[in-house]
Structure 1
């Protein structure tokens, strides 16, 4: 595959010290191509929850960047992440979103693979291929590394990537542990999916954006009767958590609760308010597909389970009170990065700039900024600084060399 041409340095698009971001990164097709290679083809990405594939033969189809993958539970109960493309002519071998099966068959020429990706069926094996095809070499391609953390399944396509434990780092582990401390969790069946004509980064940063809530969601908040409460909440002091490789989270105090978590790159944006998490799949420089999953304690009553499902349906997704308002703003903000004239003006990320000191003193297991108003741009500046480092790195060893330690932000 021919890679997109690399610019001299992507750091020129992110002025971290002055809180300025070049609008070009929100819509440029060449930058997007590099993001697919330099971020999504190397990072650890969330795929699904173990409760969605509890039995042997269960599978769930999702994406790693723009690559379709199948997460399957093999006979031995191991978890496999398989690229959904037949090695013969490239056709999909699975067209269902989820289900249970003993094998995957390409509908073009009939090549068949078991739940671990091994080639087990080959029409014309003896008469056409003369018994010479090495089946061990022609199975479905697997992700380089797969790990489950608190039931959440992640994978990376890059064999040089660090372990997922190291990828999360102290801040990521603390944040995920805090968010998933709701008992023995399982996903409520069904995933809310919809597409928004916006750049994936514009949606990603919204997870920790408290500044927009009392403006963008004024109608929804008034309907809920909580507008005044959330308007005051915007200026309440909180804790900004900065993690390795661009992860961020926010908390009310040093020991929690964690309210929102952003696992870089495509968010896995945990939203404590709705007991849900979000995956934002890039679909081009100007389109993003949102997937919303709702979590519940497996021992929850039917009434509680239904209340969580309804809360998500009423607020998230294309018909949700909250998401409709967000999606329109993401679309218009992304479109404002396409014209020549608009690109001459940088985006302002200066809220809180010069205020708040990053602490990494061993008191808590992560770098943090204390007692800043919960609405600030510290999260976004850190995310885009990390984005530029990912984009400037030719491989994992180089990323490890150039990336900024969260305690030095």
Structure 2
């Protein structure tokens, strides 16, 4: 892994978990973004696709690991490969399609050709120009260090030192995926909803369990379906009990039956009960994010049920949807506000619910949860606390040795000084 140094002391200095304050520079600083790509996105297990998208030999799906283009393929031996989409000759992409079925990948620049495992199998002029001197075995496509699947959800990591996927997810992360997978024999409905926003990827991440904004930001939605705003706000702002799931390495989820949003850090969110969807937030620089929505359905569902799920997700989550237009504008304006020179030394406030939760070691889920108000900013605080752990660790070994444990609050760091 590339050796980098924090900009000012440690990155724990950017996050005051105990007081609920976060340095707003983390949402816009290009140097911080660069380190995020090296220490988070090049190290974490990232969701690639669902196995239903690549069921047969030669099937592929193009996606990203951070800002690296990669191809997920189903090889001849049925193994799943994750290949960096860059020719080893000059770096040109070898695949330009979003998905499909092929027997090989050829660079359109000079014609170097690779098989489904990334092996270099074709070089124009190999005999007459290279005089057979090119060692093709050494010039195959770069690959992800590890690829694993859990219940059909394919993950990969670029870091050879990464722990197993199950260790990364922990019991909370496994529970989050199970919650969606248990809806049936799930598969992805063809067609990924994609759109870009002028916002930092973390602004979108923290919104998934933010129930404080619902009655304000989405007032037009509730008005259109005939729900009184007083009733909506009462449902979210009353002192109602909830359960906050906090996993190691930044995973968070709620257990609200009618919603249930779950985040696998850093970029995957699952909407289970309400939408049966997964959203991936691909960073595109410090102030731009590309969102990809995958809609899931039981393989045994009728065509009518499939259309209903897809139509519902397009209407709510698409770039012209009644939810994402509201949220996207908020995230864009918040990111611009974080970059405003006059606000540079003003922390972002995440103080809702500080000190009000109760850690329950023996929960019905089989792992510790926090009992607290259902509307709470503990979700975001925990994610940013984990963010600092990732950023301060120079290796997976260091991260495993020094990170906050949800069932051991005493391991939290000393708050930063202002």
For 1:272 and 1:257, the matched residues in 2 are separated by 6
Match of 1:316 in 2: 317
Change (3 A) 1:363 1:217: closer
Q: Shift of residue 227 of structure 1?
A: 4.8
Q: Shift of residue 178 of structure 1?
A: 1.6
Give 1:4-403 correspondences, 5 Å limit: 5-7=5-7, 8-228=9-229, 230-234=232-236, 235=238, 236-252=240-256, 259-361=260-362, 364-370=365-371, 372-403=372-403
Change (3 A) 1:310 1:362: closer
Local SS of the residue matching 2:339? coil
Q: Shift of residue 48 of structure 1?
A: 0.7
For 2:39 and 2:2, the matched residues in 1 are separated by 13
Q: Number of matched residues?
A: 405
For 1:88 and 1:230, the matched residues in 2 are separated by 58
Q: Shift of residue 258 of structure 1?
A: 7.4
CA contact (8 A) 2:62 2:70 kept: yes
For 2:84 and 2:310, the matched residues in 1 are separated by 31
Q: Shift of residue 230 of structure 1?
A: 3.8
For 2:4 and 2:325, the matched residues in 1 are separated by 34
Local SS of the residue matching 2:155? strand
For 1:71 and 1:115, the matched residues in 2 are separated by 9
For 2:259 and 2:330, the matched residues in 1 are separated by 26
Cα RMSD, aligned residues only: 1.6
Q: Shift of residue 300 of structure 1?
A: 0.4
Local SS of the residue matching 1:42? coil
Local SS of the residue matching 1:206? helix
Q: Shift of residue 268 of structure 1?
A: 3.1
Change (3 A) 1:96 1:329: same
TM-score by length of 2: 0.94
TM-score by length of 1: 0.96
Local SS of the residue matching 1:344? coil
For 1:271 and 1:219, the matched residues in 2 are separated by 23
CA contact (8 A) 1:214 1:227 kept: no
Q: Point out the more displaced range, 190-199 or 356-365.
A: 356-365
Q: Which runs of 4+ in 1 moved over 4 A?
A: 1-5
Unaligned runs of 5+ in 1: none
Change (3 A) 1:174 1:148: same
CA contact (8 A) 1:5 1:30 kept: no
For 1:171 and 1:197, the matched residues in 2 are separated by 31
